[in-house]
């Protein structure tokens, strides 16, 4: 009997992007749209191919939204079949929130654990609510949770096991996996090679993927076979160019050839992202930068809301109610690149933000830069700049290239130059660590408004930016005269944490992530 199902993935429910509650609501609305579409189309079941949630630990509000929407589907008699992605999987034997929803009877959570020396999907056990496959509404659905780098090997083994015990001829066969696939937006690090999927390709009708946030489809042989719907909301600013994504509505009729068709359903209420790239190579001043940016921003068209076809090349339909919805305020990303003929510190980021908010009604304005400051003019009034001045400028440019530290680039440059001089002077590593820690503590105290009496130091930066030793090198106790065989004084307390101020925290959030997560 013919039936339809909806395939979605990478909802990332609970993500409060940029710390804005509006973005939390955006991801919630995207999930609500998926459920609404399933109900409106009266599908036989809903597939969720991983990363329903943004993170392993949930706040109560996010859990309430998930339970409420799944209960709507349960009341309508629409089962949900899901797998865990990399964002929601817990460590060790701890119960995940996806497992909680599974044991609450709100969904079927599939996985194929290792059995003895190999991998084999087991049938669904209704009492224990575990299994590697389940039969629903004329379909046999297999599933494997996120397995990272071993995914390809595991899928190959499971494909061999399924080939040895294939699904009945009358059932439409589906496999759910959360993985990237070789040559499909894998950015050079696919978890599954195409040859790893060959056994599954021979045995199954449809490979339902998640993990890559870009919509795509492929054949690996005759006819389309693998499908990825993309994330309905924009999880990373790097996804700004992939406008049409949301879910796949699949119609199945085993009596026809081909036995199914998949139509992209674009999420109609996605918040727009606008990216503006401004080259500064020919920009002589910060004032000219503002003029160029205003021209660019004024020319920026309003984000399109009615596109004709899915970005994966498929036909596309939209929900009628989207036509009357007001356009959401966009997230605007301004990227400054090239070689600037002025200091980065002279760029008025607050004025740029106000410009974007005024002309584009932006919800969020993000300013990123990969600027380099011009070093070609190394002569001032015909005189060659001293080496220590040029050296300081190089250090400051390198440190200022990271927007997190641009505001304190001058102070951090002093630390870097002192560190370099101490290394050249053969100062023991323990003394170097103590000195760097001391300087960072002083920097933090000054930033907090608590300026202590300066601690003595053999290294300070003179008016030209070079290092000036307060004690003659030949004097006893100076770096050049001290006995380097004596034990070091040890590292500063919590040195690793303190050095994060200069070198960046290990967990720093980066919005340059690829559309693969």
**DSSP for 188-231, written as a single string:** T--SB-GGGGHHHHHH-SEEEEESBSS-EEE-SSSS--EEE---
Cβ neighbours of residue 292 closer than 8 Å, sequence gap 6 or more: 278, 283
When pLDDT is averaged across residues 465-471 and rounded to a whole number, the result is 41
pTM of the complete model: 0.69
pLDDT confidence bin for 53, thresholds 50/70/90? very high
Per DSSP, what are the bridge partners of residue 377? none
Same domain, 344 and 398: no
Q: What pLDDT does 381 receive?
A: 42
pLDDT confidence bin for 414, thresholds 50/70/90? confident
Last residue of a domain, one of 332, 353, 374: 374
Q: What pLDDT does 301 receive?
A: 73
**For residue 84, how many C-alpha atoms fall within 13 Å in the half-sphere facing its CB?**
25
**For residue 171, how many C-alpha atoms fall within 13 Å in the half-sphere facing its CB?**
18
Beta strand pairing status for 114-115 and 118-119? antiparallel
* pLDDT higher than 60, residue 52: yes
Phi, psi of 267 (to 5 degrees): -70, 120
Q: Confirm whether 514 is domain-assigned.
A: no
Same domain, 149 and 290: no
Q: Confirm whether 323 is domain-assigned.
A: yes
* pLDDT higher than 50, residue 300: yes
**What CATH number is attached to the domain comprising 79?**
3.60.21.10
When pLDDT is averaged across residues 78-84 and rounded to a whole number, the result is 97
Same domain, 403 and 492: yes
Same domain, 163 and 54: yes
Q: Which two tokens stand for residue 352?
A: 């740029």
When pLDDT is averaged across residues 437-465 and rounded to a whole number, the result is 61
**32 vs 72: CA distance, rounded Å:** 10
Q: Confirm whether 491 is domain-assigned.
A: yes
Q: Confirm whether 235 is domain-assigned.
A: yes
Same domain, 419 and 449: yes
Of 75, 72, 66, nearest in space to 48 by CA = 66
Q: Confirm whether 479 is domain-assigned.
A: yes
Same domain, 244 and 367: no
Angle at 294 between CA 293 and CA 296, to 5 degrees: 65
Cβ neighbours of residue 422 closer than 8 Å, sequence gap 6 or more: 431, 432, 435, 459, 479
pLDDT confidence bin for 468, thresholds 50/70/90? very low
Same domain, 412 and 364: no
* pLDDT higher than 50, residue 330: yes
Same domain, 233 and 363: no
Of 208, 186, 198, nearest in space to 160 by CA = 198
* pLDDT higher than 50, residue 47: yes
**Where do we find the tokens 């050249």?**
424
**275 vs 248: CA distance, rounded Å:** 27
Q: What pLDDT does 91 receive?
A: 66
- Going edge to edge, which strands form the sheet with 273-279? 273-279, 331-337, 364-369
H or E stretch covering 350: helix 349-360
Taking the CB of residue 106, how many other CB atoms lie within 10 A of it? 20
Q: Confirm whether 481 is domain-assigned.
A: yes
Same domain, 338 and 414: no
Into how many domains does the chain fold?
3
Three-class SS of residue 99? helix
**Where do we find the tokens 């999987």?**
89
For 185, the domain range is 3-267
Q: Confirm whether 516 is domain-assigned.
A: no
When pLDDT is averaged across residues 153-168 and rounded to a whole number, the result is 92
Same domain, 425 and 497: yes
Q: What pLDDT does 265 receive?
A: 94
pLDDT confidence bin for 79, thresholds 50/70/90? very high
* pLDDT higher than 50, residue 361: yes
Q: Which two tokens stand for residue 284?
A: 């002589």
**38 vs 33: CA distance, rounded Å:** 9
Same domain, 367 and 498: no
pLDDT confidence bin for 508, thresholds 50/70/90? very low
Share of the chain above pLDDT 70, in %: 75
Taking the CB of residue 509, how many other CB atoms lie within 10 A of it? 7
Q: Confirm whether 195 is domain-assigned.
A: yes
Q: Which two tokens stand for residue 517?
A: 């997560």
109 prior amide bond cis, ω within 30: no
Rounded to 10 deg, the angle between the 495-503 and 409-424 helix axes is: 120
* pLDDT higher than 50, residue 388: yes
Per DSSP, what are the bridge partners of residue 215? none
Of 496, 387, 352, nearest in space to 436 by CA = 496
* pLDDT higher than 90, residue 469: no
When pLDDT is averaged across residues 289-303 and rounded to a whole number, the result is 83
Q: What pLDDT does 385 receive?
A: 57
* pLDDT higher than 80, residue 189: no
In three state form, how does the secondary structure of 460-489 look? EECCCCCEEECCCCCCCCCCCCCCCCCCCC
Taking the CB of residue 391, how many other CB atoms lie within 10 A of it? 18
Same domain, 260 and 277: no
Angle at 46 between CA 43 and CA 51, to 5 degrees: 155
Reported as a single tens digit per residue, the pLDDT across 83-134 is 999 898 776 667 889 999 999 999 999 999 887 778 889 999 999 999 999 9
Q: What pLDDT does 412 receive?
A: 83
């Amino acid at each position: 009997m013919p039936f339809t199902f909806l395939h979605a993935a990478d909802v990332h429910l609970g993500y409060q992007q940029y710390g804005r509650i509006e973005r939390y609501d955006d991801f919630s609305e995207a999930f609500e749209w998926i459920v609404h579409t399933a109900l409106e189309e009266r599908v036989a079941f809903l597939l969720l191919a991983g990363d329903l949630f943004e993170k392993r630990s949930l706040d109560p509000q996010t859990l309430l939204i998930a339970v409420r929407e799944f209960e709507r589907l349960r009341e309508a008699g629409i089962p949900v079949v899901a797998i865990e992605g990399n964002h929601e999987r817990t460590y060790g034997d701890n119960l995940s929130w996806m497992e909680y929803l599974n044991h609450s009877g709100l969904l079927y959570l599939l996985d194929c654990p290792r059995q003895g020396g190999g991998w084999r999907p087991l049938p669904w056990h209704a009492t224990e609510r575990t299994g590697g496959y389940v039969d629903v509404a004329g379909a046999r659905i297999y599933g494997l949770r996120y397995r990272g780098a071993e995914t390809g090997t595991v899928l190959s083994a499971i494909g061999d096991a399924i080939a040895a015990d294939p699904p009945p001829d009358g059932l439409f066969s589906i496999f759910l996996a959360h993985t990237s696939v070789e040559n499909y937006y894998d950015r050079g690090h696919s978890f599954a090679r195409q040859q790893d999927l060959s056994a599954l390709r021979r045995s199954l009708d449809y490979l339902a993927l998640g993990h890559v946030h870009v919509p795509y489809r492929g054949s690996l042989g005759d006819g389309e076979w693998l499908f990825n719907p993309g994330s309905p909301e924009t999880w990373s600013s790097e996804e700004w160019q992939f406008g049409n994504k949301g879910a796949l509505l699949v119609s199945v009729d085993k009596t026809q050839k081909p036995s199914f068709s998949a139509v992209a359903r674009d999420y109609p209420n996605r918040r727009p992202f606008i990216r503006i790239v401004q080259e500064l190579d020919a920009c002589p001043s910060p004032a000219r930068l503002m003029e160029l940016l205003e021209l660019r921003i004024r020319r920026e068209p309003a984000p399109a809301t009615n596109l004709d076809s899915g970005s994966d090349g498929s036909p596309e339909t939209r929900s009628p109610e989207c036509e009357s919805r007001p356009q959401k305020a966009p997230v605007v990303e301004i990227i400054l690149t090239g070689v600037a003929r002025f200091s980065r510190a002279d760029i008025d980021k607050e004025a740029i933000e106000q410009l974007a908010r005024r002309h584009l009604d932006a919800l969020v304005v993000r300013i990123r830069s990969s600027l380099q400051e011009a070093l070609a003019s190394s002569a001032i009034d015909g005189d060659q700049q001293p080496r220590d001045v040029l050296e300081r400028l190089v250090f400051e440019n390198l440190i200022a290239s990271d927007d997190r530290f641009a505001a304190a680039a001058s102070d951090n440059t002093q630390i870097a130059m002192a560190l370099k001089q101490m290394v050249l002077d053969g100062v023991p590593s323990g003394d170097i660590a103590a000195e760097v820690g001391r300087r960072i503590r002083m920097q933090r105290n000054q930033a907090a408004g608590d300026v202590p009496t300066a601690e003595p130091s053999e290294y300070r930066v003179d008016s030209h930016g070079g290092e000036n030793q307060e004690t003659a090198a030949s004097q006893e106790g100076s770096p050049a005269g001290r006995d380097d065989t004596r034990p070091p004084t040890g590292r500063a307390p919590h040195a690793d944490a303190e050095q994060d101020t200069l070198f960046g925290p290990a967990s720093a959030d980066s919005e340059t992530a690829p559309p693969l997560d």
